[in-house]
Amino acid sequence: MKSRKKKIRKGRIFLVVFLFVMIIILFIIMFSNKDKDLYMLNLVNKNISDVDEMLKEYGLDITVTYKYDDLIGKDNVISQSIKDGVIVNDGDKLDLVVSLGKIDKEKMKKDGINELGKVPIMMYHGIKNMKDSETSHTGGNVDKDGYTRTVESFRKDLEFYYENGYRMIKLSDYIKGIIDVPYGYSPIILTFDDGNDNNIKVKGLDSNGNIIIDENSAVGVLESFKKKYPDFNVTAIFFVNNGLFNQPEYNEKILHWLVNNGYEVGNHTKNHDNLSKTTTSSTQESIGYMYDKLDKILGNKYSKIVALPFGSPYVKTHENYKYVLSGEYNGNQYETVAALRVGWEPEVSPFNKNFDKTFLKRCRAYDNNGVDFDIEIVFRMLNKSRYISDGNVNTITTDIKNKELIGSFSELEVILYE
Ligand SMILES: [Zn+2]
């Protein structure tokens, strides 16, 4: 009996000590947490380059947008989404609006800033490892029509675009109205049709199982320009058929490599079908089959954009056109975001009210001695009409005389100079 009582008492003492210790620990936790509370600082008028340092221990998810402002100096914060003095937690979202300084409309006018200008969407097919002098056709054309071009001419094209102030953008950004090129520069888009193996020729795999790309295939050349001119923003979209890149042992690795390295992949129909000659159901198979195929390999990492083989149908009123844009195949619904024709001249700005992303024109990238809309003539035309960026993706800047051409983009600020 005695020893049992002792045991119970010992147990009670232990319980009391245990609870006491727990309470102390709880207090310490509460107290230290209290001590750790972070209060939002007042960032207004602070330089954005100092803000990161000021908020270093906050762990915030910061988004910055830029706006012109007459009162707040350039690069200083205009406003913050979390008021100063508010307690913030790790991972909270903070939106900052930062000043671009006063709008200098005189300078914009002098520099010819025009975001209602035209954008070239260049159409390539094949790139062959030859010199221009080795072909029996004009300039860098390997075949009569210049669908396949020499690697020498492709390199020259890229140098020409770069030197003339063009910077590449993704086709899917253009159709969303996101033209992210620096002030004074112009956007250009590169497209490749047909999945020719010379678009991205794989020579083998390295010891890690990664593809080794032939430096004289289109992507090999593009990658060399990526290193040479980091500000060129090298990218391109590749439109493929059922055969993908016609390298069965590497096709899937190629697709993954492209989307993981800043390129895009789109739909060029199942069998390079002429969609003005297909039936309603075979049109849907032609488009839907390729979406299914890309979906299985890439999930949602490809672009829902169709390049029409032969540029057909030529008119949107064709009965098959609506099945280019949406339909059903094999029980799966598909929606196409944009469609490309073959073409001859640069497209309008995405901010132009006549912009139609489901019927876009392309420029043939070929040589023809400066006639019939070859590269030379297209870029000569562009010198008078090209899109020239104000360097800010949130504004549309143009001459006041283009005012009537501007479509409605509620989230973008319009800046007009006279
Ligand atoms: Zn084609």
Q: Give pLDDT, residue 411.
A: 84
Residue 290 Cα to ligand 1 middle (Å): 14
Residue 194 Cα to ligand 1 middle (Å): 5
Residue 243 Cα to ligand 1 middle (Å): 12
Q: Give pLDDT, residue 67.
A: 86
pLDDT at 42 over 70: yes
Task: Categorize the per-residue pLDDT at 346 as very low, low, confident or very high, splitting at 50, 70 and 90.
Answer: very high
State how far the Cα of 365 lies from the Cα of 147, in Å rounded to an integer.
8
Residue 93 Cα to ligand 1 middle (Å): 45
Q: Give pLDDT, residue 20.
A: 84
- What's the average model confidence in pLDDT over 5-23? 78
Q: Give pLDDT, residue 30.
A: 67
Residue 48 Cα to ligand 1 middle (Å): 48
- What's the average model confidence in pLDDT over 223-229? 98
Residue 363 Cα to ligand 1 middle (Å): 14
Q: Give pLDDT, residue 21.
A: 84
Q: Give pLDDT, residue 14.
A: 80
pTM, two decimal places: 0.83
* Residue % of the chain over a pLDDT of 90: 80
- What's the average model confidence in pLDDT over 321-328? 98
Residue 245 Cα to ligand 1 middle (Å): 13
Residue 126 Cα to ligand 1 middle (Å): 10
pLDDT at 119 over 60: yes
Q: Give pLDDT, residue 7.
A: 67
Q: Give pLDDT, residue 35.
A: 58
Higher pLDDT among residues 34 and 228, named by residue: 228
- What's the average model confidence in pLDDT over 380-385? 95
Read off the pLDDT of residues 393-403 as tens digits, 9 standing for 90 and up.
Answer: 999 999 999 99
Token pair listed for 328: 């059903």
Read off the pLDDT of residues 252-300 as tens digits, 9 standing for 90 and up.
Answer: 999 999 999 999 999 999 999 999 999 999 999 999 999 999 999 999 9
Residue 175 Cα to ligand 1 middle (Å): 21
pLDDT at 201 over 90: yes
Query: What is the separation of C-alpha 165 from the centre of its chain, rounded to a whole number of angstroms?
Result: 19
Residue 263 Cα to ligand 1 middle (Å): 19
Residue 124 Cα to ligand 1 middle (Å): 10
Contacts of 20 (CB under 8 A, 6+ apart): none
State how far the Cα of 54 lies from the Cα of 15, in Å rounded to an integer.
47
Residue 149 Cα to ligand 1 middle (Å): 15
> What residue type is 254 in one-letter code?
I
Read off the pLDDT of residues 97-110 as tens digits, 9 standing for 90 and up.
Answer: 999 898 899 999 99
Task: Categorize the per-residue pLDDT at 22 as very low, low, confident or very high, splitting at 50, 70 and 90.
Answer: confident
267 with 289: CB under 8 angstroms? Answer: no
Residue 143 Cα to ligand 1 middle (Å): 15
Q: Give pLDDT, residue 9.
A: 73
pLDDT at 409 over 90: no
Residue 268 Cα to ligand 1 middle (Å): 7
Q: Give pLDDT, residue 44.
A: 95
Q: Give pLDDT, residue 331.
A: 96
Q: What are the phi and psi torsion angles at 413 (to 5°)?
A: -90, 135
pLDDT at 380 over 60: yes
Write down the mean pLDDT value for the chain.
93
Residue 309 Cα to ligand 1 middle (Å): 5
